Amino acid sequence: MSENTSLNLNELFYPKSLAVVGASPKRGYLNRWGGNTFIEGAINLNFPGNIYPVNPKAETILGIKTYKSVRDIPGEIDLVIFSIPFSAVLPVMEDCVTKKVKFVHLFTAGFSETGRPELAEIERKLIDLAKKGGIRIVGPNCMGLYCPEGGLAWTSEFPRTPGTIGFVSQSGQLAGHFVQEGGDQRLRFSKVVSFGNAADLKAHDFLEYLADDDKTDIIGAYIEGLKDGRAFFEVARKITQKKPMVVWKGGQTEGGARATQSHTGSLAGSLDIWQALCKQVGLISVNSMEDLIATIGGLQRLPLPTGLNVAILGGAGGGSVTMTDLAEKEGLKVPHLTEKTIRALEEFVPVQGNSAKNPLDIMGALFGGGPKIFGRLIELLRDDPNIDALIFSQNIDMFFRRLDRSFLDDFIKMTVKSMHQLGKPLYLVLGKARSLEGEALRQDVETRYHHYNMATFSSFTMAARVYYNMKIYRDFLSSHNIPIPVFHQSP
């Protein structure tokens, strides 16, 4: 297992003091991406402790008193961020050892990931020096930490409100995209780590911490190659018995694996072996940023489905047929409704131009019938034993072009009410609009649904895929006699 099983990573995510070596007094866009961005991120999140910029030629940086070296800083230092050329890291690390610093984040790149032996040797010396001084290292070649509650971020653009999603990423760029794109979907985070080369602290070290972190309910990860695969899967097995874990594996192709080697110095293994191990330990494996965000969003907002049988609503004619194909290609089933349900539907659904069978082609009847008819449909689907969930595709672009805004407001209210009435998972599909105005309206509707903690998906395929991912995780728990946890946030 991990070398740091007794290490208290709380002091990493909630440091009382933060020093940034390589902060600059210069202003402007090009200087934002040095040490200053970490200071700006901490200020934006109201970092509760002391911030110490380090620069031998500056008196103040961003209005904060600046020190010439780490040795000159008064008091204890929990975390030091290196934003300096790789050629300067060894003497600064010596200063950190003298100062008895607890953690170092090496934003600095240019080490083993280059494939050059002499630079890998500098990395080795750096780690050896840190270990002798009792310092643990995040990185090198990484963006580091985002913990809104602890006041840490590598940019001032991240959400300030904490949440319950933890994320561990080999890539800083993808970690940043996940936070920002997930943030747009109203996801909020407890702790996010970009760990780069993982010369010291490894993926499983951070995951082991998140496994026991009572402020983290769902865990995501982006992994390219593992330096200790056995430890990773041992920790994953521990996590998935009490929290869902969603993993996006990079380097799945020959070219991607080659890029992985040059990116973080990691070797990517066989994709078939990876998938088999994920299934064995209960990991949810995804293949894109969209899959990652949608699956975690689904886990946060929906209960784990009890079965694969779905009712489909929102299509018309060929659209209903293709939705059924998409659902079944993703592993779901689109069964017949019971005869009782069909007969009851036919009482208010005209035969002409509609279909009261699954998939349900009855949007015209719903538009004309209003809340009462819509509520009756939801009651029938609730009581139908053949149906485990509803996938409801809403064409906001069509609403924008053909119907007035007051109708849309009423339709949203009906949908929100239906979530409470249905008693089964409701997956809302809000497809992209064809016009800028329609897309703006769609995003507004999406935001309103998220306000009520309703799960939305950008395509029918994505909704079906997330549904299947969540069902497979439930099956894993059931097969191991693990009680089904309630980690989603009820509306």
In this predicted model, what pLDDT tens digit does every residue of 132-179 receive, in sequence order? 999 999 999 999 999 999 999 999 999 999 999 999 999 999 999 999
- Separation between Cα atoms, residue 308 and residue 472, nearest integer Å: 10
What's the CA gap between 485 and 158, in Å, rounded?
29
Radius of gyration of the chain (CA): 26
298 alpha carbon, distance to own chain's centre: 11
Residue 288 φ/ψ, nearest 5 degrees = -160, 165
- CA–centroid distance for 474 within its chain: 19
User: Kind of pairing, strands 189-194 and 144-146?
Assistant: antiparallel
For 205-255, the pLDDT digits (tens) are 999 999 999 999 999 999 988 878 899 999 999 999 999 999 999 866 555
Rounded CA separation 491/276 (Å): 35
For residues 263 and 434, is the Cβ–Cβ distance under 8 A?
A: no
Residues in the chain: 491
When pLDDT is averaged across residues 349-366 and rounded to a whole number, the result is 78
Whether 30 shows a pLDDT value over 80: the answer reads: no
| CA distance to 50, 80, 105, 337, 476, per residue, from 25 (Å) | 18, 18, 21, 68, 54
pLDDT grade for 399, boundaries at 50, 70 and 90: confident
- Edge-first strand listing for the sheet containing 79-82: 50-54, 17-21, 79-82, 103-106, 136-138
- How far is Cα 153 from Cα 145, in angstroms, rounded to an integer? 6
d(CA 70, CA 74): 9
CB 310 within 8 A of CB 391: yes
Boundaries of every domain in the chain: 10-298, 302-479
Tell me which DSSP letter residue 269 carries.
Answer: -
Element (H, E) at 168: strand 165-169
Q: At CB < 8 A and 24+ separation, what contacts does 371-374 make?
A: 371/410, 371/413, 371/414, 371/417, 373/348, 374/414, 374/418
Cis before 335 (ω within 30): no
Lowest mean pLDDT among 18-27, 306-315, 383-392, 482-491: 482-491
Q: Is 347 exposed, middle or buried (0-12, 13-18, 19+ CB in 10 A)?
A: exposed
Name residue, tokens 């809104």. 148
Separation between Cα atoms, residue 470 and residue 306, nearest integer Å: 10
Q: Would you call the peptide bond into 359 cis, given omega within 30 degrees of 0 as the criterion? A: yes
In words, the CATH class of domain 10-298 is alpha beta
Query: pLDDT at residue 268 above 60?
Result: no
- Angle between helix axes 405-422 and 363-383 (nearest 10 degrees) is 10
Backbone angles phi, psi at 7, to 5 degrees: -75, 135
- 184: β partners: none
Look at residue 354 in the predicted model and tell me its pLDDT.
Answer: 64
Residue spans of alpha helices (H) in 166-249:
172-184, 203-211, 229-240
Q: How many CB atoms lie within 10 A of CB 83?
A: 22
3-class secondary structure, 270:
coil
Going along 277-319, which residue ranges are E strands?
Answer: 284-286, 310-313
The three-state secondary structure class of 341 is: helix
Which has the minimum average pLDDT: 146-150, 171-175, 196-200, 259-263?
Answer: 259-263
The closest of 127, 111, 131, 213 to 168, measured between CA atoms, is 213
Instruction: Judge whether 10-298 and 302-479 match in fold.
Output: yes
Contact criterion met (CB below 8 Å) for 304 and 278: no
Least Cα distance to 37 among 166, 201, 158, 149 occurs for 158
Q: Residue 31 has what pLDDT?
A: 54
Q: What is the pLDDT of residue 2?
A: 40
Averaged pLDDT score across all residues of the chain:
90
Query: For 430-467, how does the pLDDT look when each residue is reduced to its tens digit (9 = 90+)?
Result: 988 888 888 999 999 999 999 999 999 999 999 999 99
DSSP letters, 73-139, are S-S--SEEEE-S-GGGHHHHHHHHHHHT-SEEEE----SGGG--HHHHHHHHHHHHHHHHTT-EEE-
Lowest mean per-residue pLDDT among 74-78, 133-137, 307-311, 349-353: 349-353
pLDDT at residue 259 greater than cutoff 60: no
* Per-residue exposure over 461-489, b if at least 16 CB sit within 10 Å of its own CB, e if not: ebbbbbbbbbbbbbebbeeeeeeeeebbe
C-alpha to C-alpha distance for 410 and 367, rounded to whole angstroms: 11
The pLDDT-based confidence of 319 (bands split at 50, 70, 90) is: confident
Question: What percent of the chain has pLDDT above 90?
Answer: 74
Assess contact for 405 and 477: CB atoms under 8 A.
no
The answer to whether domain 302-479 has CATH 3.40.50.1820 is no
**58 has a pLDDT exceeding 80:** yes
CB 42 within 8 A of CB 11: no
pLDDT the model gives residue 42: 98
Q: For residue 394, name the pLDDT band (cuts at 50, 70, 90).
A: very high
Give the model's confidence band at 1: pLDDT under 50 very low, under 70 low, under 90 confident, else very high: very low
SS3 content of the chain, % helix, strand, coil (to 5): 45, 15, 40
User: What per-residue confidence (pLDDT) applies to 483?
Assistant: 92
The answer to whether residues 388 and 424 touch, using CB atoms and an 8 Å cutoff, is yes
